[in-house]
Chain A
Amino acid sequence: MTITDVVKILDGKLIAGDASSPRVVGAVVANDLMSDVLLNDADDILLLTSLASDQSIRTAHIVGAMGVVIHNAKPLSETMIKVANDLAIPLVSSPLSKYDACVRLHDAFVAEERA
């Protein structure tokens, strides 16, 4: 599942970063507290969060995440978009709640495995 797939599954929009990135989701982390995200050792994390601030992008960069999704269609500041572009972190805005996104991503993983 690439960032483009994520955008489709979550009815989202890619706001920053490279749509053609070949990286695939290694683990899904749904969290708004960044220390908890930093605790995670997984590679290629897709971070689902409601924290619409630079800090979610910076945290994603530190853990080498493959993308960040901001939920509930929260408005994203220009500086946040700039930080995402500077640090090359794909940033997705989705109208879905985190819960809805977790369930849909999981369903897509299951479908992917069957295929």
Chain B
Amino acid sequence: MEYNPVILQGQHTSDDEILARTPLDAKALGGDSSEIIMELLQRFKVRDVMKRQVISIPRKATLRDAQRLMRDNRISGLPVSENGRLYGIVSVNDIINGLDGCWMDEACESHMAKNLVVLEAGMPLAFALRYFNNYTYGRFPVLDSDRKLVGIVSQRDVMRALLYELSVEIRKLERKTSPKGDQVRQEAKENFFRKEWAVVHNDLSRAGHAANAIKGILRERKIDRTIVRRVAVAAYELEINICIHSHGGVIVLLISDDKITITAKDRGPGIPDIEWACRDGTSTANDWIRSMGFGAGMGLSNSKRVADEFTIQSEVGKFTKVVCVYNIPHAQQAAEGGAQA
């Protein structure tokens, strides 16, 4: 019986999947490389470099079918999948064992590797590199947010994409160096103080900046320690949220006579089910976010817990806006000018 390759998605691309075993030293890339590479590794996602043409085989197909398919397409790892759902992978090793043990006519599902490590399409390349480094597999299947198999990525795919983008970036840099403006706006009038910080999507190296600055400003104004901590916790959680979930946004601090307000507003993708998102322990975060120490599903519930008033609005595909309000007790205001109470 012959199996036709199942093409899951995307157009035909030339295949150079063949045993891409060039070791890529992620440490060398992560440690001493220039900022451009780091920026590219964050900006580019697995979906940008993966091969979208996935040749796969159904569970009941025999190892011999798999071997034929691998030989004809010159690939060394074959996903076992049906209707986009990934069940396992048959590797060259499984074929060798099959030949050795004379079970080539048995079904793939009984000999494939089932405990799979997969990448998610939305993960930054930086994260994919860590996977190649940690697990020593030559390739990873890629799943989308619905857990459907949408591609396969090898170290070689990553390398090729990086080298290409690097040359583009260098050409751009040669033409101009873009100045990074001060992205902080500040307004201080008689009865209120307002300051805002831009939060860049995926730039976790800077996330927390606004919250740390806010804590400093509130301390300087001699606001009560416990209030400062509560404001800072919400500012930090909301800043991280913008950084990892949105396409970028702002954190705004507003101090008036009797209230402190933190507003976090971002552009897209919005929250479809706000009640669910505010519940403790619910998260849409992926491994990359978790590896950064976030994504435990506590950001919104944490912010809500520490605020006196908490409101959230969101429109799917457009924005999310969270406002945390804190009341400053009157005794506190009196102390503001003088010694701390």
Contact = CB atoms under 8 A, between A and B. Distances in A.
**Contact flag (A, B; Cβ within 8 A):** yes
Interface of A: 32-36, 38-39, 49, 51, 53-56, 58-59, 61-64, 79, 87
Interface of B: 204-205, 207-209, 211-212, 215, 225, 229, 232-233, 236-237, 240, 290, 292-299, 302, 305
Given A62-B215, A62-B236, A51 B293 contact: yes
Nearest to B283: A35
Given A32-B293, A61-B215, A55 B208 contact: yes
Contact of B298 (A35, A51, A64): A35
Contacts of A32: 293
A53 B207 CA distance: 11
A58 B298 contact: no
A58 B293 contact: no
Helix, strand, loop or mixed for chain A's interface? helix
A7 to B, nearest CB: 23
A51 B302 CA distance: 20
B176 to A, nearest CB: 26
Interface centre among A35, A36, A59 (most CB of B within 10 A): A35
A50 B16 CA distance: 38
A49 B237 CA distance: 18
B294 A62 contact: no
Contacts of A34: 240, 293-294
16 contacts: A33-B294, A33-B296, A35-B299, A35-B302, A36-B296, A38-B236, A39-B302, A49-B293, A58-B209, A58-B211, A58-B236, A61-B212, A62-B229, A62-B236, A63-B229, A79-B205
Given A38-B233, A53-B293, A62-B212, 8 more contacts: A33-B294, A33-B296, A35-B297, A51-B292, A55-B208, A58-B209, A59-B236, A61-B212
